[in-house]
């Protein structure tokens, strides 16, 4: 079924295709991922080690359990420190740079590789090694890092095949930026079977591919896109948005245009607060539901297995077409407006049958007007 058919099931309205506007994405090539201050001491790197250790300690305290949130390079010309996007989205990067005297930016670095014997990094590497151990020693091996996950994978996939191979894809998967059609934003890609685009580890059973999408931490990034060319200073000053994309985004989430403009225009650094009082507004009946559903189904997709590490536990399930549809069934939408003058961001909460999506529009680069729209999600504890 096409995206159009899936949207009709959720909301029976037609979709017209049009030329899309791409939002630029970046790639990185950093390959050192220190996990401790002691490890930094052993490295031959161009950075001030004391400052780097202090930065790592700070970032680790806010990394939601990620063991290696920063990436660095041995190249003396590459002194920028990359902070994993899952962590960076919740940090004030300019403030970190100023505090520790190190330029930082959001980026995952060169995590991953190819071949069944690749060492890999972090969770992806550990899962790949477990599957290699399964191939060599069988399901009863005592040498698994995640034995319960391997048992589930055995029961659902591996036991059905005699010839099993595994490939660590890592950072090779296709980037899927936010793009715009004539009816709203979607995650790039006209098809919904996205397993080959988002796979981190691919298992081959007698030649048949099974795509594993690996996530870690309680909250997972859904999308992160630049909007500086959409919400421009000129439009804020004029008090009205003329950019069609700006109107699409605000309409999709039920955001009042005047209130949105006032958040940024009335921001006062002197009265800004670290803990910002929010005014909640239920906008479930105001959102452009067709556009919102389109965004969700194109981002979630199906045709892959989700492997989600939360603490010591690994949750594993197949993302089928049915689960994708349930994931996109919107139950409620709230906009959280900050008290005027207190913050330069706006937050939106979208609750579906299976997930809670947290969206924010803000400036990540120390400026005033919005530079990015970001969305994280986590399982809905009330899911049935």
User: What length does the chain have?
Assistant: 384
Residue 139 three-state SS: coil
Confidence category of residue 109, pLDDT binned at 50, 70, 90? confident
Q: Is the distance from CB of 211 to CB of 195 less than 8 angstroms?
A: yes
pTM of the model: 0.69
pLDDT in tens, 6-48: 666 555 444 343 333 333 333 335 778 888 888 888 788 888 8
φ and ψ of 276, to 5 deg = -95, 125
pLDDT in tens, 266-323: 988 776 666 667 899 999 999 999 999 999 998 899 999 999 988 778 999 999 999 9
Q: Is the distance from CB of 146 to CB of 312 less than 8 angstroms?
A: no
pLDDT given for residue 1 in this prediction: 62
pLDDT given for residue 257 in this prediction: 97
Which DSSP string corresponds to 274-318?
A: SS--EEEEE-TTTS-HHHHHHHHHHHH-BSEEEEEEETTEEEEEE
φ and ψ of 235, to 5 deg = -70, -40
Q: Which of 250, 183, 247 is nearest to 4 (CA)?
A: 183
Residues 314 and 316: their CA atoms lie apart, in Å, by 6
pLDDT given for residue 25 in this prediction: 34
Residues 59 and 66: their CA atoms lie apart, in Å, by 10
Residues 83 and 30: their CA atoms lie apart, in Å, by 11
Per DSSP bridges, beta strands 208-216 and 304-310 are parallel
Task: Calculate the CA 206 to chain-centre distance.
Answer: 32
Residues 157 and 219: their CA atoms lie apart, in Å, by 27
Residues 79-93 as b or e (16 or more Cβ within 10 Å = b): ebbbbbebbbbebeb
């Amino acid at each position: 079924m096409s995206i159009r058919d899936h949207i009709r099931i959720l909301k029976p309205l037609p979709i017209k295709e049009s030329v899309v506007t791409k939002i630029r994405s970046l790639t990185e090539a950093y390959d050192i991922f220190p996990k401790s201050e002691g490890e930094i001491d052993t490295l031959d790197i161009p950075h001030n080690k004391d400052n780097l250790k202090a930065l790592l300690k700070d970032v680790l305290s806010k990394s939601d359990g990620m063991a290696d949130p920063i990436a660095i390079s041995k190249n003396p010309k590459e002194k920028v420190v990359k902070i994993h996007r899952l962590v960076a989205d919740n940090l004030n990067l300019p403030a970190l740079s100023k505090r520790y005297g190190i330029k930082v930016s959001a980026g995952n670095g060169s995590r991953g590789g190819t071949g069944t014997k690749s060492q890999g990094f972090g969770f992806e590497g550990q899962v790949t090694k477990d599957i290699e151990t399964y191939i060599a020693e069988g399901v009863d091996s005592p040498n698994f890092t995640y034995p319960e996950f391997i048992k589930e994978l055995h029961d659902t996939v591996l036991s059905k095949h005699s010839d099993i191979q595994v490939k660590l894809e890592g950072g090779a998967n296709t980037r899927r930026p936010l793009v715009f059609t004539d009816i709203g934003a979607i995650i790039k890609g006209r098809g919904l079977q996205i397993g080959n685009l988002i796979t981190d580890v691919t298992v081959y059973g007698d030649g048949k591919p099974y795509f594993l999408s690996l996530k870690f931490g309680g909250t997972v990034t859904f999308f992160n896109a630049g909007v500086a060319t959409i919400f421009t200073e000129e439009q804020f000053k004029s008090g009205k948005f003329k950019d069609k994309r700006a109107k699409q985004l605000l309409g999709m989430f039920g955001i009042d245009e005047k209130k949105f403009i006032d958040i940024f225009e009335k921001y006062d650094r002197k009265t800004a607060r670290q803990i910002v009082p929010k005014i909640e507004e239920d906008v479930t009946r105001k959102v452009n539901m067709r556009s919102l559903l389109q965004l969700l189904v194109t981002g979630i997709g199906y045709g892959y297995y989700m492997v989600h590490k939360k603490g010591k536990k690994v949750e594993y399930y197949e993302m089928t077409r049915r689960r994708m549809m349930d994931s996109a069934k919107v139950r409620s939408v709230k906009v959280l407006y900050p008290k005027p003058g207190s913050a330069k961001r706006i937050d939106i909460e979208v609750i579906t049958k299976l997930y809670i999506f947290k969206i924010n529009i803000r400036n990540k680069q120390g400026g005033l007007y919005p530079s990015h729209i970001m969305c994280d999600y986590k399982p809905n504890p009330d899911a049935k």
